[in-house]
Amino acid sequence: MPAYLKYTVGKADETLNVGQILRRRFDMSASVLKEMKQKNGILLNDNPCRSVDKVNNSDIILADVSEDFCNNNKISPFNTPIDVIYEDEFILVVNKPGGMETHPCNSNRESTLANAVMYFWLQKGEYHNCHIVNRLDKNTSGICIIAKNPFAHSVIAGQARNGDFKKFYVALIHGKPDLDKGEINLPIGRSDDSIIKREVRSDGQLAKTMYEVVSHDKNYSLVKILLKTGRTHQIRVHFSAIGHPLVGDWLYGNGDNEGHLIKRQALHAKTVEFLHPATKEKLVFDTEIPEEIKKLLSSD
């Protein structure tokens, strides 16, 4: 499935060249533009052109941002169903189950979400490298955005840096915070005695978590969370630090003794908002809270 950017030049663009238009109108990175030039992927009025070529009013620029399939990470296809929320020639949006690795790692190179996505594409006769925009922990469920080419990945990653890419989570935590709505602003860094564990520490990186209590009972609270920064394990570290660890969290809570409640931390990436990399249309994707989380709130 090829991916094209099409733009009709207006009077306001007549002082620009082709490359400047692609950079300004589509937020194209210098590296992606360079790659397109190398493969002669830019047409001006159906003719190959250079990025420095000048344009005139009503000219049509067509840029092929499709990526040559190379599978440098050697991701093998894995035959298992995936929950596809949306797909077009630029992105794939899936609802990842808890318990599935997002991307191949040393301990699992065969049965991750990326492996399943490769199989899904191959069954349709499509060949794309798998550019996962927002990686979720193995035991976190929810929305994953996968770019089909470096252009889409670069644009969405840029939105994550400037705040246009918004990630809303829900979590089930122990107890109830004193405030029904608030911000946790505590710096996070790697623990000295672990390569995995993070902790709140004065020399850590800035980390901000916005939360709102949606519902609660005598044991737990369901909270809606907006990440303002994206530190490793940020939600889990922050709620543990304020005395309300996530249910089922073995690393920052009492999850080792809560297997009868849930087999993972009760965290779900519920909603994602961002601008489509090509059309700039605002996209909002939402998922249901998994039953394994919802059922705990009403339990005695």
In our burial notation (b when 16+ CB lie closer than 10 A, e otherwise), range 197-231 reads ebbbeeebeebbbebebeebeeebbbbbbebbeeb
| Cα separation, 138 vs 147, whole angstroms | 20
Entry field: residues in the chain: 300
The percent helix, strand, coil of the chain (3-state, each to 5) is 20, 30, 50
| Cα separation, 265 vs 248, whole angstroms | 4
Q: State both tokens at 205.
A: 């990186």
Active site residue 137: yes
- State the amino acid at position 242 in one-letter form: I
Nearest one of 246, 207, 222 to 294, comparing CA atoms? 222
Q: Maximum CA pair distance of the chain?
A: 70
> What's the sign of the alpha-carbon dihedral 238, 241, 245, 249?
positive
End-to-end CA distance of the chain: 51
Where would I find the beta strands (DSSP E) of 75-139? 83-87, 91-96, 131-132
| Cα separation, 138 vs 77, whole angstroms | 18
Per annotation, catalytic residue among 137, 192, 193, 203? 137
Q: Which residues carry out catalysis?
A: 137
